[in-house]
């Protein structure tokens, strides 16, 4: 098989393996060569485990030859965000605090990927402890956006988003506490899903906020996102936040289209709460028109304001993150980067009454979203209100980072997916977000697949390489 192997989706690679037109060794070697050539520009990897990946590829190829295929991810390479444990590799959180922290066991999600036959390539850049931001005072450089390496790739799952867009791997695992899967999906023009809260185990993942954290699949196609979610979803009784759900086979609705599906457009998020740039507004309106042309019934709906969602998220995240980091912040404050230290320290000054009040208001917000879902099947709304800023422009990055509509669905726990919806005049990705009912992640993926087919943005790749 010839051509640009680095742009193969996991679905395409799996079919090529089955047809004996491609082997896991060939694909892994092609990706490793591309990483060696281009990652010095992108900085997606903190730790590339090339020899282990080669060994896993040879083992996967031998199993295929013997007729033993574990599933659609067999032999497919994947990158892992560096707050998720991979046995024998450091889990650093992109921080000096944990730079020598070697994981003794795989996180549950990594163990499930290995059981499915996936090949772990290594650990990916993140904002420090998934909260810092693109920083230059850490042990590793920040990841950069392959569409324009002068710009940031979103975060905190920055290496995952950048590496997917650059063609380094077809699959990646990220985490999402206030939008950290969907922000890099938006900035890099890929597909990122924050699953329903509790659908995917977080055991073996370094926590940021116990009641807001999610692990989510990141891919270049909607079909791959469903495959990856199939592999990692499932109840884990050892994760206190894990839900005993029967949801499965997340790609089962991908070909159904959206005819007669009721879609609620949350226009006030980007029109009045946090006014988006004109190109983002135009992309959102175009996405709604495309779905309407595909047969969906689109209506405008109203939720609590973005500012209120953000305030509740900020109080809960700040309080819970402080509880995780307080010992190190007291004993080793200088070992944090400036951005992470400042954001984590703010949690020390949040009164307990504010935390309790935020959790009470959270329940009311959940009820408000649930009420809307009595009349619609899926929501469409903004993800980012701007294309990504220049990575070294700290002032503009600080201004634009909070201009987003992702945190509401960490507060409520509903499944939410961000994907590409256009390109800005500067050639940077624009985005749209789809949100569904609890444990109806398959319906969110259904809408995303219909939009993907009709809009065709997944066919566009960055000019890098």
Say what angle helices 50-65 and 24-42 make with each other, to 10 degrees.
160
> Among this protein's residues, is 23 annotated catalytic?
no
> Which residues of the chain carry a pLDDT beneath 70?
1-3
Token reading at 83: 């707050």
> Among this protein's residues, is 125 annotated catalytic?
no
Q: CA 461 to CA 423: how far, in whole Å?
A: 11
User: Closest by alpha carbon to 460, among 433, 423, 424?
Assistant: 423
Q: How far is CA 161 from CA 184, 270, 277, 301, 404, in A?
A: 5, 23, 22, 30, 17
Give, as one character, the DSSP assignment of residue 105: S
Sheet holding 429-436, edge to edge: 45-48, 119-124, 77-81, 171-176, 214-219, 191-194, 416-423, 429-436, 378-381, 262-265, 297-300
pLDDT digits (tens, 9 = 90+) for 99-111: 999 999 999 999 9
User: Which residues share a beta bridge with 192?
Assistant: 218, 418
Q: CA 225 to CA 218: how far, in whole Å?
A: 6
* Dihedral (Cα; 351, 354, 359, 361), 10-degree rounding: 180
> Among this protein's residues, is 156 annotated catalytic?
yes
From the candidates 14, 23, 156, 157, give the one annotated as an active-site residue: 156
Which ranges of 43-88 would DSSP assign to H, the alpha helix?
Answer: 50-65
Question: 267 — phi, psi (to 5°)?
Answer: -70, -35
Q: Which domains does the chain have, with CATH numbers?
A: 8-459 (3.90.1300.10)
* Burial label, 69 (beta-carbon count in 10 A; 0-12, 13-18, 19+): middle
* Residue 364 near residue 338, CB atoms below 8 Å: no
Name, in order, each residue with C-beta under 8 angstroms of 299's C-beta and a sequence gap of 6 or more: 262, 263, 264, 265, 376
* Residue 158 near residue 126, CB atoms below 8 Å: yes
Name, in order, each residue with C-beta under 8 angstroms of 362's C-beta and a sequence gap of 6 or more: 312, 316, 411, 412
Token reading at 116: 């499915």
Token reading at 387: 């294309």
* Residue 191 near residue 229, CB atoms below 8 Å: no
pLDDT of residue 247: 84
From the candidates 81, 96, 112, 123, give the one annotated as an active-site residue: 81
Q: CA 424 to CA 459: how far, in whole Å?
A: 16
* Residue 439 near residue 250, CB atoms below 8 Å: no
Helix (H) or strand (E) holding 381: strand 378-381
From the candidates 135, 158, 180, 383, give the one annotated as an active-site residue: 180
User: Which string of DSSP letters, residue by residue, matches 336-355?
Assistant: S-HHHHHHHHGGGG--HHHH
pLDDT of residue 3: 67
Token reading at 113: 């990927």
């Amino acid at each position: 098989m010839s051509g640009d192997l680095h742009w193969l989706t996991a679905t395409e690679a799996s079919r090529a393996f089955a047809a004996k037109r491609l082997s896991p060794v060939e694909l892994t070697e092609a990706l490793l060569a591309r990483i060696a050539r281009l990652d010095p520009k992108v900085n997606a990897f903190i730790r590339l485990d090339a020899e282990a990946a080669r060994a896993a590829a040879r083992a996967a190829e031998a199993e295929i030859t013997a007729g033993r295929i574990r599933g659609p991810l067999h032999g497919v390479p994947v990158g892992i965000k560096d707050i998720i444990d991979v046995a024998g590799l450091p889990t650093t959180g992109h921080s000096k605090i944990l730079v020598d922290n070697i994981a003794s066991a795989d996180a549950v999600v990594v163990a499930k990927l290995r059981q499915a036959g996936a090949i772990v390539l290594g650990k990916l850049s993140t904002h420090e402890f998934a909260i810092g931001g693109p920083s230059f005072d850490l042990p590793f450089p920040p990841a950069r956006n392959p569409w324009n390496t002068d710009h940031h790739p979103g975060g905190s799952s920055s290496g995952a988003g950048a590496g997917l867009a650059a063609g380094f791997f077809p699959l990646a695992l990220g985490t999402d506490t206030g939008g950290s899967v969907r922000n890099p999906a938006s900035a890099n023009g890929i597909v990122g899903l924050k699953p329903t809260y509790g659908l995917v185990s977080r055991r073996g993942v370094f926590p940021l906020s116990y009641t807001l954290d999610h692990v989510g699949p990141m891919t270049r196609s909607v079909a791959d996102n469903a495959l990856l979610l199939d592999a990692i979803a499932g109840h884990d009784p050892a994760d206190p936040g894990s839900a005993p759900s029967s949801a499965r086979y997340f790609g089962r609705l991908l070909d159904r289209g959206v005819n007669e599906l009721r879609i609620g457009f949350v226009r006030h998020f980007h029109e009045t709460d946090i006014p988006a740039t004109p190109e983002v507004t135009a992309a959102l309106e175009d996405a709604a028109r495309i779905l309407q042309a595909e047969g969906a019934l689109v209506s405008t709906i109203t939720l609590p304001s973005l500012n209120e969602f953000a305030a509740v998220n900020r109080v809960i995240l700040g309080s819970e993150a402080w509880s995780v980091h307080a010992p190190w912040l007291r004993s080793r404050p200088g070992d944090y980067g400036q951005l992470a230290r400042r954001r984590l320290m703010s949690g020390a000054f949040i009164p307990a009454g504010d935390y309790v009040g935020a959790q009470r208001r959270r329940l009311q917000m959940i009820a408000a979203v649930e009420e809307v879902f009595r009349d619609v099947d899926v929501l469409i709304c903004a993800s980012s209100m701007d294309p990504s800023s220049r990575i070294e422009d700290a002032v503009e990055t600080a201004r634009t980072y909070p201009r987003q509509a992702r945190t509401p669905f960490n507060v409520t726990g509903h499944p939410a997916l961000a994907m590409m919806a256009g390109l800005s005049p500067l050639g940077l990705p624009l985005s749209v977000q789809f949100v569904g009912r609890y444990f109806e992640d398959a319906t969110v993926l259904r809408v995303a697949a219909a939009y993907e087919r009709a809009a065709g943005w997944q066919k566009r790749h960055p000019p890098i390489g």
